[in-house]
Structure 1
Amino acid sequence: MVDRAATALSLVRMMQASHTVTLEQIPGLVAEHAARAGLHDAAVYVVDIRETVLRRLTGEGCDAGGGGEEYTVQGSLPGQAYQRVDVLAEPGQDGTPGGRRRWWVAVTDGVERLGVLRADTDGDDEPTRQTLRDLASTTALLLLSKRSFSDSYARLVRTEAMNVAAEMQWNLTPPPAYAGHDVTVGAVMEPAYQVGGDAFDYAVAGTTLHLSIFDAMGHDTTAGITANVAVAACRNARRQGASLAETSRQVERVLLEQFSTTRYVTGILADLDTASGRLAWINRGHHLPLLVRDNRWAIELVCPPAGPMGSALGLPVIQRTEQLQPGDRLLLYTDGLVEARDADGSEFGRDRFVDFIRRQHAGRHTLHETLRRLMAAVMDHHAGRLDDDATVLLTEWRGSDQQELTP
Structure 2
Amino acid sequence: MSEPVNWARRVLNEAPADLLLDRISSILTTSYRAERVELLQVDYRLSVLLPLGEGDPVSGPGHPAWRCFDHQTPIVADADVYLPVSVRGERRGVLRVGPVPDDEAVIGELAEIATALAHEIEAATAGTDVYRAARRTRRLTLAAEMQWEMLPGRSRVRPSFSLAGQLEPAYAVRGDSFDWSDDGDRVWLATINGMGEGVAASMLTALATHALRNARRAGLSLADQAALADQAVYDLHRGGQHISALLLELDLRSGMMTAVDAGSPRLMMLRDGDVRELPLEAQFPLGMFEATDYREQQFALHRNDRLFVVSDGVIDATGQDVRYGETALERFLRRTGPMEPLEAVRSLLGDLRAFVAGDLVDDAVVVCLDWTGPQP
TM bucket (normalised to shorter chain) is: over 0.9
The Cα of 1:366 is off from its aligned counterpart by 1.8
Other-structure match for 2:75: 88
Q: What is the CA–CA distance in structure 2 between the aligned matches of 1:111 and 1:314, rounded to whole Å?
A: 38
Q: What is the CA–CA distance in structure 2 between the aligned matches of 1:39 and 1:285, rounded to whole Å?
A: 58
Other-structure match for 1:97: none
**Residue 259 (structure 1) aligned to one of 212, 224, 237:** 237
Q: What is the CA–CA distance in structure 1 between the aligned matches of 2:290 and 2:357, rounded to whole Å?
A: 38
Q: What is the CA–CA distance in structure 1 between the aligned matches of 2:351 and 2:41, rounded to whole Å?
A: 22
**Residue 283 (structure 1) aligned to one of 261, 267, 271:** 261
The 3 A distance-change label for structure 1 pair 219 and 321 is: same
- Secondary structure at the aligned position of 2:8 is classed as helix
The Cα of 1:150 is off from its aligned counterpart by 1.9
Other-structure match for 1:26: 20
The Cα of 1:317 is off from its aligned counterpart by 2.4
User: Is 2:124 the partner of 1:146?
Assistant: yes
Q: What is the CA–CA distance in structure 1 between the aligned matches of 2:6 and 2:267, rounded to whole Å?
A: 45
The Cα of 1:305 is off from its aligned counterpart by 1.2
Whichever residue aligns with residue 10 of structure 1, its letter is P
User: Is 2:363 the partner of 1:389?
Assistant: yes
**CA-to-partner distance for each residue in 1:309-368, whole Å, 9 max, x for gaps?**
11107765222111100110111121101111112x22222232232232132xx33221
RMSD over aligned Cα atoms? 1.9
Contact 2:38 2:51 in 1 (8 A): yes
The 3 A distance-change label for structure 1 pair 332 and 313 is: farther
**Residue 221 (structure 2) aligned to one of 240, 243, 250:** 243
Other-structure match for 1:70: 57
Unpaired stretches in structure 2, ≥5 consecutive residues: none
The Cα of 1:122 is off from its aligned counterpart by 4.9
The Cα of 1:123 is off from its aligned counterpart by 2.3
Alignment of 1:275-354 (within 5 A): 275-294=253-272, 296-312=273-289, 316-343=293-320, 345-354=321-330
Q: What is the CA–CA distance in structure 1 between the aligned matches of 2:100 and 2:176, rounded to whole Å?
A: 49
More displaced, 267-276 or 301-310? 301-310
**CA-to-partner distance for each residue in 1:66-115, whole Å, 9 max, x for gaps?**
x3322215242222222222222224xxxxxxxxx222222222222111
Alignment of 1:8-407 (within 5 A): 8-38=2-32, 40-41=34-35, 42-57=37-52, 65=53, 67-91=54-78, 101-294=79-272, 296-312=273-289, 316-343=293-320, 345-361=321-337, 364-400=338-374
The Cα of 1:23 is off from its aligned counterpart by 4.0
The Cα of 1:131 is off from its aligned counterpart by 2.0
Q: What is the CA–CA distance in structure 2 between the aligned matches of 1:390 and 1:326, rounded to whole Å?
A: 28
Contact 2:241 2:288 in 1 (8 A): yes
Q: What is the CA–CA distance in structure 2 between the aligned matches of 1:111 and 1:279, rounded to whole Å?
A: 22
Whichever residue aligns with residue 48 of structure 1, its letter is D
- Secondary structure at the aligned position of 1:19 is classed as helix
- Secondary structure at the aligned position of 1:130 is classed as helix
Whichever residue aligns with residue 150 of structure 2, its letter is L
Runs of 4+ displaced beyond 6 Å: none
More displaced, 274-283 or 366-375? 366-375
Unpaired stretches in structure 1, ≥5 consecutive residues: 58-64, 92-100, 403-407
Contact 1:14 1:33 in 2 (8 A): yes
The 3 A distance-change label for structure 1 pair 76 and 333 is: same
The 3 A distance-change label for structure 1 pair 312 and 158 is: same
The Cα of 1:398 is off from its aligned counterpart by 0.3
- Secondary structure at the aligned position of 1:197 is classed as coil
Q: What is the CA–CA distance in structure 2 between the aligned matches of 1:283 and 1:400, rounded to whole Å?
A: 26
Other-structure match for 1:95: none
The percent identity for this pair of structures is 25
The 3 A distance-change label for structure 1 pair 129 and 243 is: same
The Cα of 1:142 is off from its aligned counterpart by 2.2
**CA-to-partner distance for each residue in 1:288-315, whole Å, 9 max, x for gaps?**
4111111x21222222211111110776
Q: What is the CA–CA distance in structure 2 between the aligned matches of 1:245 and 1:205, rounded to whole Å?
A: 19
- Secondary structure at the aligned position of 2:173 is classed as coil
Q: What is the CA–CA distance in structure 2 between the aligned matches of 1:48 and 1:119, rounded to whole Å?
A: 20
Contact 1:336 1:391 in 2 (8 A): yes
Normalization by structure 2: what TM-score?
0.94
Contact 1:292 1:328 in 2 (8 A): yes
- Secondary structure at the aligned position of 2:323 is classed as coil
Contact 1:303 1:318 in 2 (8 A): no
Contact 1:107 1:116 in 2 (8 A): yes
Whichever residue aligns with residue 196 of structure 2, its letter is G
- Secondary structure at the aligned position of 2:121 is classed as helix
